[in-house]
Amino acid sequence: MAAVDIAQKDASSIALPGLGRALISAGKLTQKAAEDIFRKSQASRTGFIAEVTGTGAVSASELAHTVSSIFGAPLLDLNAIDPLRLPRDLLDAKICQAYRVLVLSKRNNRLIVATADPTDQEAAEKIKFTTQMGVDWVIAEYDKLARLIDSNTKSANEAIDAYAGAGDFEFEDVAIEEAADTSDASGGDVEDAPIVKFLHKMLLDAFNMRASDLHFEPYEHHYRVRFRVDGELREIASPPIAIKDKLASRIKVISRLDISEKRVPQDGRMKLKVGPDRVIDFRVSTLPTLFGEKIVIRILDPSSAKMGIEALGYEPEEKERLLKAIERPYGMILVTGPTGSGKTVSLYTCLNLLNKPGVNIATAEDPSEINLPGVNQVNVNEKAGLTFAVALKSFLRQDPDIIMVGEIRDLETADISIKAAQTGHLVLSTLHTNDAPTTLTRMRNMGIAPFNIASSVILITAQRLARKLCPVCKEPIDIPHEALVDAGYAEEEIDGSWVPYKPVGCSACNNGYKGRLGIYQVMPVTEEIQRIILRDGSALEIAAQAKLEGVRSLRESGLYKAKLGVTSLEEVLAVTNL
């Protein structure tokens, strides 16, 4: 009779586990030792293999080699495994913890699973039932396996607590009751307290750091949270990748988005209460990526529209031109610049100045970012057929005095806007162009007749946002004469009466910068510029005429700010072009 059969027969009275019988057959344990270890494991509920290695009866290394030899399964040194590259979504972490197994990879419809005990049929059946895939065992040393499982399946909640801290936050959901109808579909994910706490912590930190956007970004082996502070993205946290789905569900529920839809982008909004009397709006955008949904949250602070035109950074002559234009009863004012250059804040600052009881103001936006009481705001919804053009046509039947169009994107919208400006309405809008003179030629290229442009547009503002130097730590810098000339300064300006400054960095700022200010090119459409437009002149001709009339280019405006010491020459060169 084979040795293993004899061992099984002798041990049958106490039903030793398969691993115990295998160790007896290999001569690693006596019958009595195996029975004693089994009784101890039953009493302490630690498991037979943990008791074997824990008592030193058989070392983890010797056990792995013996089991590999007996069962003909490959032996793997887990020290050679990169934990970050292990698949995390193939098997539930609770099963890995309970049965001390670790999924290494997937091949066709079978899982390659590391274990120290290939005789555990219950574990094999549980994995098969849960994943609907077959199991191929790979033998690993128990101590190394246990450490890797514990670190790899560490509760995401514990890791999140390290970021969120232990304190309570005065950050209350305003829209939770409105989102309650989706809570059934969300299950426990969105009510996971550490997830809620982590999200609130991130939003509160972003608000306190005066960030404009939060980015929640999943990747193959890690997850990161970044804030855009003073125009630059900064990595703030790297929480466990296991939280990505729960966090996305939480954000989508309070933003009233479809949490079951992960294949297409979605847009939503949420409100959160900061303290007793202040509510901040957040605009939420989701985007399906290779490894999960990236979520960007933009902070929409209504107070930014009420901070006054002085706070925007206009020089006195620029402010005078703008105020003179918005006081006109009719005409079109255009604000141009790339995304994130502060166009919306500039427009709303103007609307706030114009918002009086005797004036009817209507806006069409995609979407409306800042809530301004007294202004009739409409969100464009192209899927429902509510385009900028449709909204504009409707506005004209609503007896408006002032119309604000979020963006002129096509000829139809431009045509209606111009007709409104020509028929007694003040129209404010935006375009994506590099500077003020090219805005007029861009409109010409859209198909608008020169005489319509010349008779309707009264002022164009091009703008950029530059970081402000920290007043606490900025230091003078010696820049060679040639470099100043190359940057755009005239010879007569480099007279030694002023000193450029450089960023340094201190506890009060962000790498030497604190806050941002606008750099502007404010160009009124004068009679001379109208003549150039009517004869279909180029942007270069318009720019030359504007310069003769005292309009600074964006570069010149930025150089003037550097001359005043409020920003650095390096920053000016980065955000403007000659």
Domain ranges of the chain: 18-153, 192-300, 304-464+519-551
- Residue range 501-516: mean pLDDT, rounded: 86
pLDDT value, residue 35: 85
Question: Of 294, 304, 308, which is closest to residue 252 (Cα–Cα)?
Answer: 294
pLDDT value, residue 578: 58
pLDDT at 411 over 70: yes
Whole-angstrom Cα distance, residue 361 to residue 427? Answer: 10
Torsion of CA 402, 407, 413, 415, to 10 degrees: 70
pLDDT value, residue 258: 92
Exposure pattern of 318-334 as b/e (b: 16+ CB <10 Å)?
Answer: bbebbeebbeeebbbbb
Q: Provide the pLDDT confidence category of residue 6 given band limits of 50, 70 and 90.
A: very low
Q: Provide the pLDDT confidence category of residue 276 given band limits of 50, 70 and 90.
A: low
What are the Cα distances from residue 486, in Å, to 435, 479, 543, 547?
20, 11, 20, 19
In sequence order, which ranges of 278-362 are alpha helices (DSSP H)?
316-326, 343-354
pLDDT value, residue 164: 56
Whole-angstrom Cα distance, residue 399 to residue 386? Answer: 19
Decide if domain 18-153 falls under CATH 3.30.300.160. Answer: yes
pLDDT value, residue 170: 41
Q: Provide the pLDDT confidence category of residue 388 given band limits of 50, 70 and 90.
A: confident
- Residue range 191-195: mean pLDDT, rounded: 69
Its sign, for the CA torsion 68, 145, 218, 129, is positive
* Neighbouring C-beta atoms of residue 172, cutoff 10 Å: 14
pLDDT at 335 over 90: yes
Instruction: Tell me which residue has tokens 């919804």.
Output: 381
* Tens-place pLDDT, residues 525-553: 999 999 999 999 999 999 999 999 999 99
Range name among 188-197, 214-223, 259-268, 309-318 with the lowest pLDDT average: 188-197
Torsion of CA 276, 282, 288, 294, to 10 degrees: -70
pLDDT at 200 over 90: no
pLDDT at 191 over 80: no
Q: Provide the pLDDT confidence category of residue 157 given band limits of 50, 70 and 90.
A: low
pLDDT value, residue 176: 43
Q: Provide the pLDDT confidence category of residue 79 given band limits of 50, 70 and 90.
A: confident
Whole-angstrom Cα distance, residue 303 to residue 352? Answer: 11
Q: Provide the pLDDT confidence category of residue 231 given band limits of 50, 70 and 90.
A: confident
Question: Of 445, 423, 441, 438, which is closest to residue 331 (Cα–Cα)?
Answer: 423
Whole-angstrom Cα distance, residue 420 to residue 162? Answer: 56
Residue pair 68/117 in contact by the 8 Å Cβ criterion? no
pLDDT at 198 over 70: yes
- Name 368's Cβ contacts closer than 8 Å, sequence gap at least 6: 377, 378, 379
**CA angle at 99 for the pair 98 and 104, rounded to the nearest 5°:** 115
* Tens-place pLDDT, residues 479-488: 998 999 998 8
Question: Across the chain, what does the average pLDDT equal?
Answer: 84
- Residue range 72-98: mean pLDDT, rounded: 80
Q: Provide the pLDDT confidence category of residue 565 given band limits of 50, 70 and 90.
A: very high
Output the pTM of the full model.
0.66
Whole-angstrom Cα distance, residue 253 to residue 52? Answer: 49
pLDDT value, residue 184: 43
- Name 280's Cβ contacts closer than 8 Å, sequence gap at least 6: 207, 271, 272, 273, 274, 299, 300, 301
Exposure pattern of 416-450 as b/e (b: 16+ CB <10 Å)?
Answer: bbbebbeeebbbbbbbebbbbbbbbbbbbebebeb
- 549 three-state secondary structure: coil
Comparison of pLDDT for 275 and 123, the residue scoring more: 123
- Edge-to-edge strands of the sheet including 402-405? 376-379, 361-365, 402-405, 426-431, 331-336, 457-469, 513-524
pLDDT value, residue 475: 92
Q: Which CATH class is domain 192-300?
A: alpha beta
What are the Cα distances from residue 565, in Å, to 231, 263, 468, 508, 560?
19, 49, 9, 18, 9
Query: Residue 266 is encoded by which pair of tokens?
Result: 């979605």
pLDDT value, residue 552: 93
pLDDT at 366 over 90: no
DSSP bridge pairs for 105: 112
Comparison of pLDDT for 143 and 84, the residue scoring more: 143
pLDDT at 105 over 50: yes
pLDDT at 13 over 60: no
* Neighbouring C-beta atoms of residue 475, cutoff 10 Å: 11
pLDDT value, residue 159: 57
Residue pair 328/426 in contact by the 8 Å Cβ criterion? yes
pLDDT at 516 over 60: yes
Whole-angstrom Cα distance, residue 413 to residue 447? Answer: 12
What fold is seen in the domain 304-464+519-551?
Rossmann fold (3.40.50)
Cα Rg of the chain, angstroms? 34
Instruction: Tell me which residue has tokens 């305003």.
Output: 174
pLDDT at 17 over 80: yes
Per DSSP, 393 falls in state H
pLDDT value, residue 149: 81
